[in-house]
Structure 1
Amino acid sequence: MKRQKYASDISREKFAEIEPELRSVRRTTKPISLDLYDVFCAVFYLLRTGCQWRFLPTDFPKWQSVYAYWSKWSQPDEHGTSVLERALKKSQVGAAREKLGRNACSTFLIVDAQSVKNADTAGFKGYDAGKKVSGIKRHIAVDSLGLPHAVAVTTANVTDRQGALQAFERCKGSLGRVQSVLTDAGYVGKPFADGVKQRLGAHVTVQIAKRDELHSFRVMPKRWVVERSFAWLEKNRRLWKNCERWLNTSLQFVHLAFVVLLLRRS
């Protein structure tokens, strides 16, 4: 039976770009009985609409099967990298940069954090006293195009500096060409600069984009790029609040959101 087409679906041609990565989590001795395209579209439908697993439309595969595949795709390997993260960085971010004649790894990163309120189903939370938010915090480092190169999710009580260093620690294997990191005033201090150098190399410099001293609105140079990346994430209703029991699940939904964004733009 052919299922209904939803607005959240991507084309089969785009899905083929990441299908090899998604198939790699299954044993080759056991044939796959479900259409992985429908499974992937079901997971993104859930992310886009914010519905619960049990409320997936019935023309998708059974929600238990969809969730089982999601669990495999979001499970980190021995290096702490999930299939979704590999698909994002290798198949999408790198390819998007190379199409523009750039190296797959950027030399310039812009860092910021976003505090997100928890729903009652969330398993971990902290309190961000600065923004008065009880929940989690997303830390991302993007290039000048807004494409993510390092992502981490922590409880909201973790400072922006600590979270950024966690993101760099997670992803330092793919950040070998980074030479400069741009941040706002929340990252001021020698300990943060030293932490960046320790993880990315002694040659890396940290630049602080300061607000204009005049009491007038000014767009901070390059800072709007990372704010736009956060806005891209918020187009997905499941990311408006944190509903997840585990921080890794929140992290993998961020990876999924960027994967589909880049698939549609390629």
Structure 2
Amino acid sequence: MGTTFTPAKTSPTSWDAFGDVDAFVDAVLAELAAMASDGTRSTRSGPKPPLTGAALRKAILAIWCVAFCGMQWRAIGLLCDIPFGTLYTLFARWSRIGLWRRLLNRLILGWRQACGDKVMPSAVIIDSRSCRSAPTCFGRGFDGGKKIKGIKIHLAVDKYGFPLAISISPANRHDSKGIVPVLHQLADCGFKGTALGDLSYRGQRLSKAGEALGIIIQPSAGGHGGTFIPEGIRWVIERSLAWISRYRRLNTIFERTEAHLVAFIEIAFISILSRRLHILPT
């Protein structure tokens, strides 16, 4: 059974990732400035000066293009006239210091406050998506149900479809096991409530693991006879998975580390959220 609250209405305008890409760049620049002011982001040392001004904006846009267009680092480096090693180093360094997660958390908080909600939701929705991966990927498994050899993305989203926790596992790991790191991330950020999911999350072992963290696992059937039937607010995570499928870097996985794959997922949601907040009526 679902809960009584309803998801927010989406914008009636058509979806265009390039429409407000400047909002994404501005959000990243603002977060970089905030991290520099509080000492989280230290100044890079080296023989070459750090990118600033228009060059830095171009580098951020290039990283976004890698996520959305699925371009190779070498190709985008040639197009934007910035060495691909510089672009990849920036992306890796920002991922290591937690820029994307911090920015995503701030944008989610801003969206929830704009919609009149509390900082922490009372319920989340959990699900997973299996993705094909290249042989060079950090880990691979075979999902027998979906006939996919690759990895599996586990998400926990709020009622608006934005992720509060993300975890990665080989595709052959069952959902009830792969979701456990997500539950720990939720508990670490202070979530205490209900996690709604499909029947893959049944079982006493998962239920007890959730109860130990203050989270109640509430599985329910999401369809009948092969037909998807929306159950309460369970459908919003299906929309979230459809959102990230538009970002080509997240369809076939080439990343060699889990951290970089999670970073690209966060970049996708940052792009969506920054656009929404940009067009939000004041």
Question: TM-score by structure 1 length?
Answer: 0.85
1:152-177 deviation line (CA, Å, top 9, x unaligned):
11111221111111112234321x24
Per the alignment, residue 162 of structure 1 pairs with: 177
Cα gap change, 1:58/1:173 in structure 2, threshold over 3 Å: closer, same or farther?
same
Match of 2:80, SS?
Answer: coil
Distance in 2, matches of 1:85 and 1:257, equals 11
Distance in 1, matches of 2:140 and 2:35, equals 30
Q: Which runs of 5+ in 2 are unaligned?
A: 1-16, 278-282
- 1:235, distance to aligned residue in structure 2 (A): 0.9
Distance in 2, matches of 1:58 and 1:26, equals 29
Q: Which runs of 5+ in 1 are unaligned?
A: 1-5
Figure out how many residues of one structure are paired with residues of the other and give that number: 251
- Of 169, 175, 181, the residue aligned with 2:195 is 181
Distance in 2, matches of 1:178 and 1:73, equals 30
Distance in 2, matches of 1:160 and 1:49, equals 29
Q: Letter of the aligned partner of 1:103 in structure 2?
A: K
Per the alignment, residue 83 of structure 2 pairs with: 62
Kept in 2, the 8 Å contact 1:142–1:150? The answer is yes
Kept in 2, the 8 Å contact 1:127–1:133? The answer is yes
Per the alignment, residue 107 of structure 1 pairs with: 122
Distance in 2, matches of 1:20 and 1:144, equals 30
- 1:100, distance to aligned residue in structure 2 (A): 1.1
- Of 83, 87, 94, the residue aligned with 2:103 is 87
Per the alignment, residue 211 of structure 2 pairs with: 197
Distance in 1, matches of 2:108 and 2:248, equals 23
Per the alignment, residue 140 of structure 1 pairs with: 155
Distance in 1, matches of 2:83 and 2:228, equals 51
- 1:118, distance to aligned residue in structure 2 (A): 1.0
Kept in 2, the 8 Å contact 1:15–1:37? The answer is no
Q: Letter of the aligned partner of 1:7 in structure 2?
A: F
Kept in 1, the 8 Å contact 2:62–2:80? The answer is no
Q: CA RMSD, aligned part only?
A: 2.4
Per the alignment, residue 10 of structure 2 pairs with: none
1:119 maps to 2:134: yes
Q: Letter of the aligned partner of 1:20 in structure 2?
A: A
Distance in 1, matches of 2:60 and 2:83, equals 13
1:33 maps to 2:51: yes
- Of 254, 263, 269, the residue aligned with 1:243 is 254
Deviates more, 1:242-251 or 1:105-114: 242-251
Distance in 1, matches of 2:163 and 2:30, equals 18
Match of 2:150, SS?
Answer: strand
Per the alignment, residue 3 of structure 1 pairs with: none
Cα gap change, 1:217/1:237 in structure 2, threshold over 3 Å: closer, same or farther?
closer
- Of 204, 221, 234, the residue aligned with 1:223 is 234
Distance in 2, matches of 1:161 and 1:216, equals 22
1:18 maps to 2:67: no
Distance in 1, matches of 2:74 and 2:223, equals 50
Question: TM-score by structure 2 length?
Answer: 0.81
Kept in 1, the 8 Å contact 2:59–2:82? The answer is yes
- 1:22, distance to aligned residue in structure 2 (A): 6.2
Q: Letter of the aligned partner of 1:189 in structure 2?
A: G
Q: Letter of the aligned partner of 1:52 in structure 2?
A: Q
